[in-house]
Structure 1
């Protein structure tokens, strides 16, 4: 082997070693894992309504109320008096792995869907959904797009 190849292998091994040491330090210090960080993360939408219209009778919009004690909800005026911020975060742990996301079992998907539906109900009066499927192509690419669209309906973008 050449000196350059050996040096590159040495640098790669050192990088793996440093990453391992950092992971061990995090584990020993009680650092929270990704599941805890995901649970503590607030998901927020801005609703173009006044705060008193969002929680008019003291109750949350139906999609968020259905989640019950799975979420903690916060309602406050949006910056610049441009509506209301409706925020939610998980209160307990659930499966947050990639496979749980693909299978639609990630509780964060339910929170995102509930926020999106609550915003739609408050602003439009109903839950807005697309009319047509994204593709009708029967091939592998069409099936892939259909699966990705199905997953995205649970995930959405906030």
Structure 2
């Protein structure tokens, strides 16, 4: 009888901990949607002009801010989703399947940085290989996925 009581107490404790962890994960994912995504642009703040076209396309869905980068190393360009219509997950499955609502913001920031610094939006050469091999298919898949999901 004692063992059954101890086992039930352990199971209840583990269950309560699991529920608490799942709730905190769900709350942190909602916070992820409103987190600022930032790139540093190699342009002084006083030379930073109007909103770049890639970010202007999303102007109804994002907030944009600029600030001097630490150490006088350019300008920080930041954007985040705004509004109550935000839906979708931000976990690894959503990111890999292309359903993360922050992917267009990441892509727009990357394109804006490229446009400001070089005057054009830099894209990888296509096709990445000349022969259709398993490795070439993998490189092509990764290259297509990277356009919407880089490190920011």
Where on the TM-score scale, by shorter chain, does this alignment land: which range? Answer: 0.7 to 0.9
1:21 to 16, 19, 23: 16
The offset of 1:27, in angstroms, is 6.7
TM-score by length of 2: 0.75
Q: Deviations over 1:87-141 (max 9, x none)?
A: 1111142323545433433221111110011111111001011224333443444
Residue 87 of structure 2: SS of its match in structure 1?
Answer: coil
Q: Structure 2 stretches of 5 or more lacking a match?
A: 1-6
Root-mean-square deviation (CA, aligned residues, Å) is 2.9
2:68 to 77, 98, 101: 77
Matches within 5 A, 1:131-142: 131-142=125-136
The offset of 1:143, in angstroms, is 2.5
TM-score by length of 1: 0.73
Native 8 Å contact 2:40 2:69 kept in 1 = yes
Q: Which residue of 2 aligns with 1:120?
A: 114
Asked if 1:60 corresponds to 2:51, the answer is yes
Native 8 Å contact 2:124 2:143 kept in 1 = no
Asked if 1:94 corresponds to 2:49, the answer is no
Q: Which moved more, 1:144-153 or 1:80-89?
A: 144-153
Native 8 Å contact 2:106 2:148 kept in 1 = yes
| Corresponding pairs, count | 141
Inter-partner Cα distance in structure 2 for 1:69 and 1:49: 25
- Pair 41,16 (structure 1): closer, same or farther in 2 beyond 3 Å: farther
Inter-partner Cα distance in structure 2 for 1:103 and 1:32: 19
Inter-partner Cα distance in structure 2 for 1:137 and 1:111: 33
Q: Structure 1 stretches of 5 or more lacking a match?
A: 1-9
Runs of 4+ in structure 1 off by over 6 angstroms are none
